Structures are given as structure tokens and as C-alpha cells.
Amino acid sequence: MTRVFSGIQPTGEPHIGNYFGAMRNYVRLGQQYGSDAIYCIVDLHAPTNPAAYDPATLARLTFEMALANMAVGLDPEQVIFFVQSQVREHTELSWLLTVNTPLGELERMTQFKDKAGKLESIPAGLLMYPVLMAADILLYKADTVPVGEDQVQHIELTREIARRFNHAYGPTFPEPRAVLEQAALRVPGVDGHAKMSKSKGESSTIGLLEPLGSIWNKVRPAPTDPARVRRSDPGNPDICLIGDYHKLFSDAQTLLEITDGCRTAGIGCIDCKKRLMPGIERELTPIQARAAELRERPETVLAGLAYGAERARAIAAPVMDEVRTRMGFLRAGARP
């Protein structure tokens, strides 16, 4: 049996990097695996990123992330889709895994070192982030985890945590594998950053639910091939973020025309950007229309999340019973 687990943080508005890198894949895997596809909005992870976490907006952003995933096509009747903090077993398992995880392994995590280097005071939660991530996965005994390249090291740690627990307390958890099917879809930021990221701010992202006029206002001044100083200079669409966006949004004929036009200086950068907009409109308009419908019926989104949490707890509770028993905790009402 294959069981898929993946989580997405609610620390910003959903953008096209989320869409192409994760959300479309969620829908595809959900259609393939049904209730064995488990997706979680990992709101407990949000406070580990002080720069992006805002308690005043966390609930709204969590709702928006749920709404966006449903608008893309994720069906809460088909998959298990819920909010992490509404299934308390995540935090319990995280603590029990924490006491068995060496400090040195956590300090070696690349993401921890990168983020810690930017902070004056390092919260312990940032160090423990990958243990909570391991608990998210192992709580459902998931064996397949779709992730980006930057999360592969965390999956390797999860495998080591599972291996260590199994050795100490008996076979309990499978060792999950990372699935990098969407690794090629590394969407660059519209401001020229190598990767579109909520942490870079709205100037870097194209929102999945952003009005088309606002998207054009970001695309129009976006950097292109720096070698194209003049309109008559040929360019290279393979090193241009607008060329990358065409590969995501444009049909084959448009892609062929802009690629040839760029290399021969037959088309200018602003015209290339204009040719991009119909593809963006074609892809995002149906999603935005479904999102508008769901926004008119917020109870539908909340009910889907509540149903998902109920189904998640039905899996998580017996796993936690098993973990407590293996670790030797006294069961309520039972004699030692």
C-alpha cells in the first residue's frame, strides 16, 4: 500500500510556485490514491519562521490556503485534507521523537543553518522544525512524500528518526521516500530571485488568486535576459524568467514563436511579456472563479477541513496508542 503525505505552510498568499510545485501534484496524487493521499496545512510550523509568522493573519492565511487548494481541484471528500493544529497527535509524537533525536543531526540541517544565520536570537522551534516534520509524516505511516529539493535533507532525517525509533522500540514506522516529480518546476520569482518564495515578499510572487491587472503590473517591469540591452540584440529564453513562465503557461505554438523570436531578436521583451498574459489568464481564471464561489460559501471550506481532521485523527490516534505502548507509558485505567 502506498500512502502519500505532504504539508504546505500558510505563511503567505498562495502563489504560482505553490501551484506548479505542489498543488497540482496534490490533485493528481489524490485522484490516484484517494484517502491514502493525506495533505496538511502545517500551521504549527508557521511560528518557527519569525519573519513570516503573524498571529493576526495566521487564521486567515490558513483559510486562504485551504480555499486555494480546493479551487485548484483538491476534493476533501476524496483525499484527507486538514489543518495540522486540529490534530493534536502531531505535537505529541513530535515531542516523543525529539527525545530520541541527537542535537548534532539537527544542527547539521542546511535550512536551519541558513535561517539561523539571519537571526539575532534563534528560537528552539527552528532547530526542532524537522522533527515536527518527521512527526507529520510518521504519524500516518506515510511512505511517499512529495517535496521540493530543499526538503530532501529533512526526509533523510525522517528516515533516520524512523530507523532509530524502530531499533529502540520495535518495528513501528516505515522509512518514507522523497518524491521529486515536480523538481523541474522550480518557479523563479518575478523580481528575479532564483525561486519564488513567500519569504521574499509580494514583489517576488505572482499570487494564484491575484487579479490579472496586478499580475501584469509585476510582469511588465520584470527582468529578462541581461544580454538584451537593445531591442535588436538577440536573447536566450532559457536564462530569462519570462521564458520560464512561458514554459508553464503558454501553448506549444506560442512557446515556439517566442523562443525563436527571442533568439533572433524578432520579438521585443515587452511583446514577449504581452504574449505571456493570455496563457496566465487561461490557466488562472477558472481557479479564481472557483475560489470566488468558495469564498461565498466559507462553511464549505471549513466543513471540508473539519471532515479531514476527523479522518486524520482516526488514523493518528491508534498510531499514538501504539507508540505510547512501545515506549512504555502507563495506559489510562490499566495496571502496570
Q: Which residues are catalytic?
A: 115, 195, 198
Give the separation between CA 142 and CA 176, rounded to whole angstroms: 6
Q: Could you give the C-alpha distances from 2 to 175, 209, 279, in angstroms and in order?
A: 12, 32, 35
177-179 vs 144-146, strand pairing mode: parallel
Segments in 44-151 forming alpha helices (H): 58-72, 89-98, 103-107, 110-116, 124-138
Q: In the numeric block, which cell numbers belong to residue 99?
A: 527525545
How many Cα neighbours within 13 Å face the side chain of 113?
9
DSSP at 207: B
Exposure of 217 by Cβ count < 10 A (0-12 exposed, 13-18 middle, 19+ buried)? exposed
Q: How far is C-alpha 103 from the chain's CA centre?
A: 26
DSSP state at residue 81? E
Residue 153 near residue 109, CB atoms below 8 Å: yes
Q: Which positions ≥6 away from 302 have C-beta within 8 Å? A: 63
- The values of phi and psi at residue 50, to 5°, are -60, -30
Residue 65 identity: M
- The owner of cell 493570455 is 278
